[in-house]
Amino acid sequence: VDATEAAFDMYWNHPTAVRVEYLKRGEPMSGGLDALRGAYDAHVNEARNSPYAQRLRDSAELAAILEGSNEKIWSSDVKVLSDPPYKADGKAKDDPNTVLAHLAERFRGAQTSLRILSPYFIPGKKGSQLLVDTAARGAKVEVVTNSLAATDVAAVHGGYSRYRKRLLKGGVDVYELKPHADTSNSAGGILGSQASQGSKGGSSGVSLHTKAAIIDGEYVFVGSFNLDPRSAWLNCEMGVMVRSPELARELAAIADRYSDPANAFKVSLNEHGQLRWTHQDAGQMQTVSTSEPQAGSKRKIVAWIARILPLQTQL
């Protein structure tokens, strides 16, 4: 709590944080305060009746948490990771105090396993090399991200696709969540994925939302950080690194559910070095695809454009 409070105060007092009235644009809302209250109430009602809220109400795991009947896991080794506010000014490149720097250090130290869950995953050249080097040392490296059919930003998938073959050739296991995956049998299905309403070039099904990592079955990271350029260089991110084998086992069970063949496409290379996606269909039959499965042509075009244009730093 002290570390989180310190991070809040650092942002609150930084010159890049300004009072919201300084950013006011346009005319006051028609109807004044009553209209604003009405719009707010409508938003609350919409959120209360959303599929996500209904799944929370039906969740036995959440009920146990609220009732205090679930077994709590405590750890005295918890570190709050927070990007410095001057990152917003572009002054944090190669800064050892960023979330990226802390994660990279922990990832490099992985000895037996490294499992990453990242909705938006664009590792870049350095990140790809880090993961490949970790796998070369004998650690099992696994990445779970959204498939093109499941992501809510198809352009991000285009940026990620640049590095897919490099990772696979380097021994990294890659899983892509299906757009209609059923993760409801675990707590992760309630808290770790979301029903996407879609955006431009986006999904209208289920998409991965968890940003987390498990290192050596001992350390767990959970936070706002995606393994992509925006989180690395543009956005100010935050998270916690916890040393707890018990929490690592719980998160590993969630990751197992995500990477199950019924819920994810396992990406691999055939003998000719071509991509293939393997999964199970509703009849539990194994299916192999040779192009982005279940993704429409428009999404493929958006991803292809993002792949060939120099947009990576903005993705």
Residue reference for tokens 């192009």: 291
Q: Angle at Cα 269 formed by Cα 268 and Cα 275, nearest 5°?
A: 85
pLDDT grade for 89, boundaries at 50, 70 and 90: confident
Please state the φ and ψ torsions of residue 175, each to the nearest 5 degrees: -125, 140
- Identify the pLDDT of residue 116: 98
155 close to 202: Cβ distance less than 8 angstroms: no
What would the mean pLDDT of 116-120 be, rounded to a whole number? Answer: 96
Per-residue pLDDT, 163: 95
121: nearest Cα among 307, 254, 315: 315
pLDDT digits (tens, 9 = 90+) for 294-303: 999 999 899 9
Q: 90: number of CA atoms within 13 Å, CB side? A: 1
Q: Regarding beta strands 78-82 and 286-289, do their DSSP bridges make them parallel or antiparallel, or are they unpaired?
A: unpaired
Sheet holding 264-269, edge to edge: 78-82, 238-243, 219-223, 212-215, 113-117, 140-146, 173-177, 264-269, 275-280, 286-289
Q: How far apart are CA 315 and CA 304, in angstroms?
A: 14
Query: Among 23-27, 82-86, 269-273, which stretch is predicted with the lowest mean pLDDT?
Result: 23-27
Give the pLDDT confidence score for residue 183 in this predicted structure: 62
Q: Give residue 190's identity as a one-letter amino acid code.
A: I
Structure tokens at 119: 């909705």
What pTM value is reported for the model?
0.84
Per residue in 185-243, pLDDT (tens digit) is 544 444 455 554 444 444 445 788 999 999 999 999 999 999 999 999 889 999 999 99
- What secondary structure does DSSP assign to 86-109, as a single string? GGGGT--TT-TTSHHHHHHHHHHT
So what's the pLDDT on residue 244? 95
The whole-number pLDDT of residue 203 equals: 45
pLDDT tier, 283 (very low <50, low <70, confident <90, very high otherwise): low
Mean pLDDT of 52-61: 90
pLDDT more than 70, % of the chain? 91
Judge whether residue 73 has pLDDT over 90. no
Average pLDDT over every residue of 14-21: 86
pLDDT of the residue at 192: 54
- The CB-side HSE value for 274 (13 A sphere, CA atoms) comes to 7
